[in-house]
């Protein structure tokens, strides 16, 4: 099913699995890429050599489309070049679109995506030369850039820019996927649904908490502001239960997590989520999740999640075909 996004990046399913820090494990990204979507990992927290090794290894494992996400202007130019030489799409978020960085990526042969939270930021991304703009609605899990619901922001951004637009925030099933394509998006960026997959880097208890959450069990909070992104704007959507639990504890350290192969302490209020191998008060760690978490009801292989999204979209195709889908 072709859209402007699939044609541009060369994938067959118009879904980008969201970058999600350690949760977006190489296994997850490779599984999504193998299933026809865009598999994404995050650069944050990895030494440059480790990142390069990881991307090379992922490249050997799949012939699908891969993406890597950068969330800080502070990364060196060489790192941006190293990443751009290894993935089809370099994805940026949380800092102002930069023509210099876009040019750097283009010169290294990759495409540039920028996730934005407002119309003004979408225009700035297009003006900076980005090839894809991802519109993040306030429903999104993880760090939230803007304050407008996707349903309102998406049409405004579609009117404002000409490049292909991905919709992000609260898309967990075929119905919401079909809705954003019908509204004119060229694809969806999906995060929360992929936390509850076999391949994700989330701790089993975090996956289960996502499955168990009913309705909108989330809240935007600054309770986990001990993180590099929160240094500029402490706003992340997490499971409300985690905010309540961390408020009950007065320990300085709530547990440990495996980072870069070693077990490190997780201070109370840290932005580190309960990753596989974490120990301690997992329920008081940053359980990022989007507002549509209630519709995630099982833990499945990523390929099955993609297949179901596509099957449901095809059932709803007459509606979707009206705009975003070719």
Ligand X SMILES: Cc1cc2nc3c(=O)[nH]c(=O)nc-3n(C[C@H](O)[C@H](O)[C@H](O)COP(=O)(O)O)c2cc1C
Q: Which one of residues 28, 33, 140, 278 is an interface residue with ligand X (CB under 6 A)?
A: 140
Q: Does 164 bind ligand X (CB under 6 A)?
A: no
Block residue for tokens 């519709």:
295
Sheet holding 236-239, edge to edge: 142-143, 236-239, 218-221
Q: In whole angstroms, how far apart are CA 32 and each of 23, 90, 288, 321?
A: 14, 16, 20, 24
| Best CA proximity match to 92, nearest among 160, 53, 137, 145 | 145
- Residue 63, φ and ψ in degrees, nearest 5: -100, 5
Minimal distance, residue 266 CB to ligand X, in Å: 15
- For 136, the token pair is 């993040």
Q: Does 117 bind ligand X (CB under 6 A)?
A: no
- Residue 314, φ and ψ in degrees, nearest 5: -65, -35
157 burial via Cβ count (<10 Å: 0-12, 13-18, 19+)? buried
Using CB under 6 A, which of the segments 12-20, 28-36, 240-248, 274-282 binds ligand X? 12-20
Asked if 128 contacts 98 with a C-beta cutoff of 8 angstroms, the reply is yes
| Best CA proximity match to 83, nearest among 68, 95, 71 | 68
Using CB under 6 A, which of the segments 28-36, 140-148, 243-251, 296-304 binds ligand X? 140-148
Minimal distance, residue 206 CB to ligand X, in Å: 9
Closest to ligand X by CB, 21 vs 255, is 21
Minimal distance, residue 175 CB to ligand X, in Å: 14
Q: Which one of residues 4, 5, 9, 19 is an interface residue with ligand X (CB under 6 A)?
A: 19
Closest to ligand X by CB, 164 vs 169, is 169
* DSSP-derived pairing of the beta strands 132-136 and 165-168: parallel
Q: Which one of residues 9, 11, 15, 20 is an interface residue with ligand X (CB under 6 A)?
A: 20
Q: Does 104 bind ligand X (CB under 6 A)?
A: no
Asked if 168 contacts 191 with a C-beta cutoff of 8 angstroms, the reply is yes
Q: How far apart are CA 203 and CA 182, in angstroms?
A: 35
With b meaning 16 or more CB within 10 Å and e meaning fewer, what string describes 227-253? bebbeeebbbbbbbbbbebbeeeeeee
Closest to ligand X by CB, 21 vs 164, is 21
Q: Does 168 bind ligand X (CB under 6 A)?
A: yes
Site string for ligand X, 184-223 (x = CB under 6 A): -----xxxx--x----------------------------
Closest to ligand X by CB, 36 vs 273, is 273
Q: How far apart are CA 316 and CA 50, in angstroms?
A: 42
Q: Does 170 bind ligand X (CB under 6 A)?
A: yes
Minimal distance, residue 123 CB to ligand X, in Å: 19
Q: Which one of residues 115, 118, 148, 270 is an interface residue with ligand X (CB under 6 A)?
A: 115
Q: Which one of residues 93, 114, 177, 224 is an interface residue with ligand X (CB under 6 A)?
A: 93
Q: How far apart are CA 181 and CA 14, in angstroms?
A: 9
Closest to ligand X by CB, 226 vs 321, is 226
Using CB under 6 A, which of the segments 45-53, 152-160, 285-293, 314-322 binds ligand X? 285-293
Residue with smallest beta-carbon separation from ligand X: 191
Binding site for ligand X (CB under 6 A): 18-21, 23, 42, 44, 69, 71, 93, 115, 136, 139-143, 168-171, 189-192, 195, 273, 288-290, 292
């Amino acid at each position: 099913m072709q859209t402007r996004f699939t044609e541009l990046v060369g994938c067959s399913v118009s879904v980008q699995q969201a970058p999600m820090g350690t949760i977006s494990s190489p296994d997850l990204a490779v599984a999504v890429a193998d299933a026809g979507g865009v598999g994404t990992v995050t650069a944050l927290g990895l030494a440059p050599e480790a990142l390069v090794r990881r991307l090379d290894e992922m490249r050997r494992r799949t012939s699908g489309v891969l993406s890597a996400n950068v969330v800080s202007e502070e990364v060196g130019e060489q790192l941006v070049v190293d990443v751009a030489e290894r993935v089809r799409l370099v994805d940026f978020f949380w800092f102002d679109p930069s023509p210099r960085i876009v040019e750097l990526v283009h010169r290294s042969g990759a495409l540039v995506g920028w996730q934005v939270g407002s119309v003004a930021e979408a225009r700035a991304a297009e003006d900076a030369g980005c090839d894809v703009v991802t519109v993040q609605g306030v429903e999104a899990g993880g760090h939230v850039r803007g304050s407008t619901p996707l349903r309102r922001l998406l049409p405004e951004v579609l009117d404002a820019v000409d490049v292909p637009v991905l919709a992000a925030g609260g898309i967990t099933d075929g119905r919401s996927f079909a809705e954003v394509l019908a509204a004119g998006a060229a694809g969806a960026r999906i995060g929360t649904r992929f936390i509850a997959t076999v391949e994700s880097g989330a701790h089993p208890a975090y996956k289960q908490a996502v499955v168990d959450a009913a309705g909108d069990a989330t809240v935007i909070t600054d309770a986990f502001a001990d993180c590099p992104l929160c240094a500029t704007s402490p706003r992340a959507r997490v499971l409300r239960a985690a905010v309540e639990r961390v408020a009950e504890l007065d320990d300085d350290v709530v547990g440990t997590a495996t980072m870069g192969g070693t077990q490190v302490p997780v201070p109370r209020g840290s932005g580190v989520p309960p990753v596989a191998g974490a120990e301690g008060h997992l329920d008081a760690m940053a359980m990022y999740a989007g507002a549509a978490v209630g519709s995630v009801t099982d833990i499945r292989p990523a390929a099955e999640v993609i297949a179901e999204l596509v099957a449901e979209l095809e059932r709803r195709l007459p509606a979707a075909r009206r705009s975003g889908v070719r």
